[in-house]
Amino acid sequence: MTLQQSHRSGSSRLAAAAAVLLLGLALYDDGGKAAAAQRGLPEDIGGVPEEKEFKEDALNLPAYPHDAALIEFRPRGYSKNRFYVDRNSVSLGADWVVRYTAVIKSPSDVANVSYEGLRCKTSEYKVYAYGTRNGT
């Protein structure tokens, strides 16, 4: 399966930006070198090595997000909704795709939950799964 380019909604794009920021913070350790070395990544994670053929990692859905693990961010513009990224779901795969769970809550506390991925090298974006009302 390959990632497909798609149009991004404002909320998904902002959730993605927050996820990338959180990933950068998670990898920051002596300039990211120690964390990158532990994960088997090159020291300079800013330059993605060339690849012959893209092969997406197998999908491993994270646990459904809990409110205690949500990090709120505020997108540009006005919205009555509240936007979050689940800190426990942010990851960088061996395929160089940043994956994260985004949560958008309405003023009536209805939550839209999605597990998404960004492939920065090619500006691709993908939604892997949506959360359900029963917490799955």
| 35 inside domain | yes
Q: How many domains is the chain built from?
A: 1
The structure's pTM equals: 0.64
Q: What is the pLDDT along the chain (136 residues), one digit of tens a residue?
A: 444 444 445 555 666 666 665 565 555 444 445 555 555 655 555 555 555 688 999 999 999 999 999 999 998 888 999 999 999 999 999 999 999 999 999 999 899 999 999 999 899 999 999 998 888 8
| 21 inside domain | yes
Provide the domain limits for residue 79.
10-39+69-130
| 16 inside domain | yes
| 60 inside domain | no
| 89 inside domain | yes
| 109 inside domain | yes
Beta bridge pairs of residue 105 = 82, 111
Distance between CA atoms of 130 and 35, rounded to whole angstroms?
A: 30
| 50 inside domain | no
Distance between CA atoms of 90 and 87, rounded to whole angstroms?
A: 6
Instruction: Count Cβ neighbours within 10 Å for each residue of 112-134 and write b for 16 or more, e otherwise.
Output: ebbbbbbbeeeebbbebeebeee
DSSP state, residue 116: E
Distance between CA atoms of 7 and 54, rounded to whole angstroms?
A: 21
| 58 inside domain | no
